[in-house]
Amino acid sequence: MLRITDQTGRNIAFDHPPKRIISSVPSQTELLFDLGLEESIAGITKFCVHPATARQTKTIVGGTKNLHLEKIAALNPDFVFANKEENDRASIEWLANRFPTYISDVKTLDDAVNMIHDAGTITNKREGALVLSNAILARFREIIQPPVRPTAAYIIWRDPWMTVNHDTFIHDMLTRLGFANVFAQREDSRYPVICNAELEEANPDFLFLSSEPYPFGDRHLSEIQKQFPRAKTFIVDGEMFSWYGSRLLQFNTSFAQNIPRMA
């Protein structure tokens, strides 16, 4: 009998490596595939876009916030791989009362590495998980911190503007790249709503417009550059900053070092 504690402090028991897995988070779905568990995955969400073939071969069980619970139950899973932030609490509690459910809670790179180790332990893929996590950590050790941290605001939504505070995975990625998050100390929300005046007052060196969850594009880039001409504004790959599974191997560690060319 394998017993493990998930990242929310819940104890879970498995009597065998799972063979019918439901993954309710895109970045964790990709991780399972990369650990060689394709044949054991029974269901994924409609947002699980990596690998590209996943949605063609696996049962779609709804979205991250609107899981189709009865459909999941009909798949008779022996493991549900969920996340505290990305999934609806009531849905995950419903599933956890019926099936072994691991709930991740990832706010830092260290949390991500621990989640990868736990996934490897649960699925009997410890060696693959260790190799993967070591490669990710080695990649982040390549980052050379700038002598002076440029300030940045990371924008995830518009109408209203939404950003990130210190208690988020995105903040940890910004910090590791050498940026100082101008809204790090906002305590009203992990994803604070801000107005134009607050953004102007923060006066960041850089404005990063995430490609997800809001699909910022070139039209928005031009508009925002006119609104905030002092900041160097770029559209950035939201997956690079917010996916905390095996996609971290693709993390652009040279991003901060490219600042001179970005200016």
pLDDT of residue 145: 84
pLDDT of residue 259: 61
pLDDT of residue 146: 85
pLDDT of residue 201: 96
Identical fold, 2-139 and 151-262: yes
Cβ-contact 71, 62 below 8 angstroms: yes
For the chain, percent helix, then strand, then coil, each to nearest 5? Answer: 40, 20, 40
Q: What is the C-alpha separation between 53 and 10, in angstroms, rounded?
A: 33
pLDDT of residue 23: 98
- For residues 125-157, b (16+ Cβ closer than 10 Å) or e, as one string? beebbeebbeebeeeeeebeeeeebbebbbbbe
pLDDT of residue 144: 85
**Which residue ranges make up each domain of the chain?**
2-139, 151-262
Superfamily per CATH, domain 151-262: Nitrogenase molybdenum iron protein domain (3.40.50.1980)
pLDDT of residue 257: 62
pLDDT of residue 19: 97
Domain covering 2-139, topology: Rossmann fold (3.40.50)
The gap between the terminal CA atoms of the chain, to the nearest Å, is 56
Which helix (H) or strand (E) segment holds residue 178: the answer is none
Profile the chain (263 residues) by mean pLDDT over runs of 10 residues: 96 94 98 98 97 95 98 98 98 97 98 98 98 96 89 97 98 95 97 97 96 93 91 94 96 70 52
Count of positions (residues) in the chain:
263
